[in-house]
Amino acid sequence: MSFRYEPGDTLAHRLDPRTKLFVQLSVAVAAFAHTTPRGLAALTGLAAVLLYLARTSPVAALAEVWVALPLLVAGPLLEGITLAPVGFSVAQARFPALASYRTLVLLVVAAAYVRTTPVRESRAAVQRTVPGKPGQLLGLGIGFVFRFLPLLRDDLSRIRDASRARLGENRPVRERMRLVTVAGLNRAFRRADTFALALRARCLSWNPTLPELRLRRRDLPALALGVALLVAALL
C-alpha cells in the first residue's frame, strides 16, 4: 500500500468526499476535547472500524506515517526527563504521551481517507464548500499536496535504500541524517522544478471541470456519526 488513492469498491470509497471530510473533522474535534485514556480508547476503536470499512490494514496505515513516529515517541520521553533529581517523571510525560497518541489516531484516519478518495474529488469537495477564489486556492493546494507528498516519500525511501546498499548504516547517526536530509532536499527541489514545468505545459486551470458530487442515503449514517462526535466533544 502507498500513501495515495487506490481504486476500490468499499463503502468508504462510495461515500461523498464531503462526508468523509466532515467525519475526519469530527474525529479531530472529539480527540482534542477528550484527550484521556478512555476517550482515546473509544476513538481507537472508531479508527479501527474506519480502517475496516476502507479495507486498510492498521499495520499498513502505520507504515505510511512512519516518518512522524520518532517525533511522537520522542516528545513524551523528553518531556518526562527531570534534572533535579535526575530521572524520569511519568506524571510529566503522561499528557504529552496522550497527545502523541491522539495525533497518531488522526494520522491513521487520514490515511484511510487518502486511500479511498481521488484527488479530484477532494479538490471538488473543498471548492464547493469554500466559495470563490479562496476555495479554488485551497482546492488547488490540496491537489498539489496529495500528488507531491507520495513522490517525496518514495524518494526518501529510495535514498535510504541506496544508503544501506553502500553500507551507510556503518556511519554515525548524525552523518546518516545529514546525508539523507541533503539528498532529500535536493530531490525535492528537482521535483518542484519538474512539477512547475509540467503545470505550465498543461496550461494550469484555476477552475477546471470537477466531478459531480452528490450526497446519497449511504452518507446519512456517516453524517450522523460526525454529528454525534461533535455533540460528544461539546459535552
Reply yes or no on whether the pLDDT at 31 is more than 90: yes
For the segment 52-83, what is each residue's pLDDT rounded down to a tens digit? 998 888 888 888 777 778 888 888 888 888 87
Residues 111 and 75 in one domain: yes
Query: Cβ(80)–Cβ(88) under 8 Å?
Result: yes
- CB atoms < 10 A from the CB of 100, how many? 21
Which residues fall within 8 angstroms of residue 109, CB to CB, at 6 or more apart?
Answer: 24, 27, 47, 50
Structural domains in the chain (count): 2
Grid cell 479501527 — which residue? 48
Residues 17 and 74 in one domain: yes
For the segment 204-229, what is each residue's pLDDT rounded down to a tens digit? 665 667 788 888 899 999 999 999 99
Whole-number average pLDDT of the chain: 83
Query: pTM of the entire structure?
Result: 0.73
Please tell me the predicted confidence (pLDDT) of residue 208. 66
Please tell me the predicted confidence (pLDDT) of residue 27. 94
**Orientation of helix 37-53 relative to helix 17-33, angle to 10°:** 160
Query: Does any domain span residue 233?
Result: yes
Query: Cβ(1)–Cβ(64) under 8 Å?
Result: yes
Grid cell 486556492 — which residue? 137
Residues 45 and 5 in one domain: yes
Residues 43 and 158 in one domain: no
Domain that holds residue 182: 133-209
Query: Does any domain span residue 126?
Result: no
